[in-house]
Every structure is written in structure tokens, then in C-alpha cells.
């Protein structure tokens, strides 16, 4: 099923459905009747393809789109085109070559993420070395306690651990050309060096973690860019962040702040950022203290602002949390954790990247991603 050349999954599912097969069978295990049913199904499919004209945009109950020249059993028709050329022309007109541009940005961001992941791992490996820090201090202390011993030109020494209740014997490696006191000082220097590295390393690791999340958030926002203008917002963000070189050529249009998604519901309004610049604007400048902020937990996604004209209840919060899960990288999964809190609880640390927030109080809801009924991509 996965390697049936020339068939996409929606079409394969259609063939399997009309053949009453589940896709796990081996062709050699099929009965003569099953083979006959499969053959008829493929023949009927051929006839449908030959007789069909135009193109259909289809959507299933999980909001997954497909394109076919005839209806599929588990999809409903979203839009109908009289010819394939008509569909292509509309796509080109709407995207204005956006696919070529976003692939270029995706490539740059993917490379930047990979580079930062290598740096991140290197910092972690260096921090792992600091586990020896306490051992080096202990060796120095034990050697200083035994400073009266005249031991030189020995590769190691065995001494009781007087700083432990058990008093176990320690085998301490020595630099043979140094005295016990000089060896103790050497271990203290190693301890200090690792201690300083740990402080610096933890700071670098936190900074690297933040940078990785930021880069991944930009990469995710490309998936929401449906116009040339929205893609240019992301490109400008990459320039400002130093990810790509700044262009000397001015934009032919002004980037607005109103490109975010605005939806109305019976209980109020919802505002959704398509990228970090819009997230930043909505959360830190546009939203009111009494608005409620939603975002998937530890998953790249949009900032979602809920402005109510009624008192919030679990049903409203659950519905909007489902929308927040839909506008995230976890859109195709289930049981997505979504954090939510009042805007008044949201803070932005100084010097933090676009879209970065912290909060001291929040609640979390586990939901199934759901596309808003009144949202069209």
C-alpha cells in the first residue's frame, strides 16, 4: 500500500474500500474472489478516470484536503473546477510564486536549526564533563589533609576518604613530578575551571534552547503563509534576526499588522497570529488584560487571543483550545496540551526573541485539534 507506485493515499483508500480490503493483505494470500473484486475495482477506477473532466478539491472529516477528478467515498466536495488548468491558474494567482520562495526559506531555516542542534549537543557534552567537578575537589581536599606525606614520582596514591562516614579507600591519580600539595593545587584548578564552565555552559544551553525553539517557530509559521505578503513578513523577521542577509531592495508594499486571522464566534472574537511578528503584536500590543491567551504547550504554534462578550466557561475554553491546537505543529495529532491564561499574566523577558513569553500562572487543557467552522485557508 505504501509503495503502490502512482497512487496517492486518498485514491488507494478508495480502491481498498471498493474492494473491501484493509490494505494489510499480501497479494499472494488473496482468494480468487478477492482478486476478482480488486481487478473490477481497478477497472472501474480506470473508467472513472477516462470519463472524468475537470478537478475537485475535496476535504474529509479530519479537515485533510485531497484533489481528484471524481468524488471519493470519505470526502466531500469543497470546490469544483471545470478544467485542471483553471485550478492551476487559481493556485498560481493566489500564491504569487510563494511555493518557490517558501522552499528557499525552509532550506535556510532547516540548515540553521541543524547547525544550532549540533552546537546545543556540544554544550551538553561539555556540561556532562562537569560531573567530575566534585570529584576533583574531593581529591584536592584529601591530598591537602595528607600534605605531610612525602610521595613523589608515583602515578597514584591510595588514601582513606576522611570526609566520608565509610572512610573508603580512594585511588587518586597523581602527576609524578609534583608533590602532594602541588597535586592538590592542580586538582583545585581543574575544579575551578569546571565550575566556571558549568555556570557559563548552563547559560549557553538555555540560550541555545531558546534559539532552537525560536528557529522552529519561524519554520512552522511558513506553513501558515498563504500570501506573498505574509511570507515577506517572515523573511523580514529572518533578516532582523540575522538568519539571512538584509536586502537593500525596499519592499514594494508596506507590511501591515492586520494580516492576522480574525474570527467571530457567538461568544466573542478570536485573533490568531500567522507568524512571530503577528504573535508579538497581538499578545503584547493589541490584546487587553482581560483577553485570554492560548498556546500549545512546548509545541510550535500560533498565539491565539480570545476576547469574550460573556463570562468564560469550560465549553468555550475547550472549543478555543481546540482551535489553538489546530493552529500548531500538532495539527495532525490528537490529545494536544494547550496552555491558557489571561493576558495580564503574560510577560516578555527583555532581549527575548519575537513571540517569546513567560507567565507565572496558567491552566492546561488536553484537546483534539479542530479547525474553526468559519475559517477558510
In angstroms and rounded to an integer, the radius of gyration of the C-alpha atoms of the chain is: 31
Q: How distant is the alpha carbon of residue 17 from its chain centre?
A: 35
pTM summary value:
0.58
Cβ contacts of 336 within 8 Å, gap of 6 or more = 296, 299, 325, 328, 330, 366, 367, 368, 369
3-class DSSP state of 269: strand
Q: Cell numbers of 19, please?
A: 474492494
Print pLDDT tens along the chain (377 aa).
444 456 777 888 888 899 888 888 888 888 888 889 989 988 888 888 888 888 888 888 776 778 888 888 888 888 888 887 777 666 655 555 455 667 788 889 999 999 999 999 999 888 887 778 889 999 999 999 999 998 878 899 999 999 998 889 999 999 999 999 999 999 999 999 888 888 888 889 999 999 999 999 999 988 888 777 778 888 888 998 888 888 766 655 455 556 789 999 999 999 999 999 899 999 999 999 999 999 999 999 999 999 999 999 999 999 999 999 999 999 988 899 999 999 999 999 998 898 999 999 999 999 999 999 888 76
Q: What share of the chain is helix, strand, coil (3-state, %, to 5)?
A: 45, 15, 35
Q: Distance between CA 373 and CA 27 in Å, rounded?
A: 42
Q: Distance between CA 235 and CA 280 in Å, rounded?
A: 16
Q: Cell numbers of 43, please?
A: 477497472
- Confidence at residue 152, expressed as pLDDT on a 0 to 100 scale: 77
3-class DSSP state of 359: strand
Domain residue ranges of the chain, discontinuous segments joined by + = 9-95, 97-255, 261-367
- Confidence at residue 1, expressed as pLDDT on a 0 to 100 scale: 40
Amino acid at each position: 500500500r505504501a509503495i503502490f507506485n502512482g497512487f496517492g493515499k486518498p485514491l488507494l483508500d478508495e480502491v481498498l474500500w471498493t474492494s473491501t480490503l484493509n490494505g494489510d493483505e499480501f497479494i499472494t494470500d488473496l482468494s480468487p474472489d478477492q482478486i476478482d473484486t480488486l481487478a473490477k475495482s481497478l477497472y472501474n477506477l480506470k473508467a472513472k478516470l477516462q470519463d472524468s473532466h475537470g478537478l475537485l478539491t475535496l476535504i474529509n472529516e479530519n479537515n485533510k484536503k485531497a484533489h481528484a477528478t471524481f468524488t471519493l467515498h470519505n470526502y466531500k466536495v469543497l470546490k469544483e473546477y471545470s478544467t485542471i488548468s483553471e485550478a492551476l491558474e487559481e493556485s498560481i494567482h493566489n500564491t504569487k510564486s510563494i511555493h518557490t520562495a517558501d522552499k528557499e526559506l525552509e532550506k535556510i531555516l532547516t540548515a540553521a536549526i541543524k547547525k544550532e542542534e549540533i552546537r546545543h549537543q556540544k554544550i551538553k557534552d561539555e556540561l556532562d564533563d562537569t560531573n567530575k567537578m566534585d570529584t576533583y575537589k574531593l581529591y584536592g581536599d584529601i591530598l591537602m589533609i595528607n600534605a605531610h606525606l612525602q610521595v613523589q614520582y608515583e602515578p597514584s596514591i591510595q588514601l582513606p576518604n576522611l570526609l566520608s562516614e565509610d572512610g573508603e579507600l580512594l585511588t587518586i591519580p597523581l602527576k609524578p613530578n609534583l608533590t602532594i600539595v602541588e597535586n592538590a593545587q592542580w586538582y583545585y584548578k581543574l575544579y575551578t575551571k569546571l565550575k566556571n564552565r558549568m555556570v557559563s555552559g548552563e547559560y549557553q544551553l538555555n540560550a541555545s534552547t531558546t534559539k532552537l525553539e525560536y528557529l522552529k517557530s519561524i519554520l512552522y509559521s511558513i506553513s501558515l503563509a498563504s500570501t506573498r505578503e505574509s511570507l515577506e513578513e517572515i523573511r523580514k523577521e529572518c533578516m532582523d534576526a540575522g538568519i539571512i542577509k538584509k536586502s537593500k531592495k525596499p519592499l514594494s508594499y508596506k507590511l501591515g499588522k492586520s494580516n492576522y486571522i480574525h474570527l467571530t464566534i457567538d461568544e466573542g472574537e478570536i485573533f490568531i497570529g500567522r507568524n512571530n511578528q503577528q504573535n508579538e503584536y497581538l499578545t503584547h500590543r493589541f490584546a487587553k488584560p482581560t483577553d485570554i491567551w492560548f498556546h500549545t504547550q512546548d509545541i510550535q504554534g500560533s498565539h491565539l487571543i480570545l476576547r469574550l462578550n460573556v463570562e468564560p466557561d469550560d465549553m468555550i475554553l475547550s472549543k478555543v483550545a481546540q482551535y489553538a491546537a489546530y493552529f500548531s505543529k500538532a495539527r495532525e495529532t490528537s490529545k494536544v496540551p494547550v496552555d491558557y491564561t489571561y493576558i495580564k499574566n503574560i510577560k516578555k523577558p527583555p532581549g527575548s526573541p519575537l513571540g517569546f513569553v513567560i507567565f507565572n500562572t496558567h491552566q492546561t487543557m488536553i484537546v483534539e485539534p479542530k479547525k474553526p467552522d468559519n475559517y477558510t485557508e
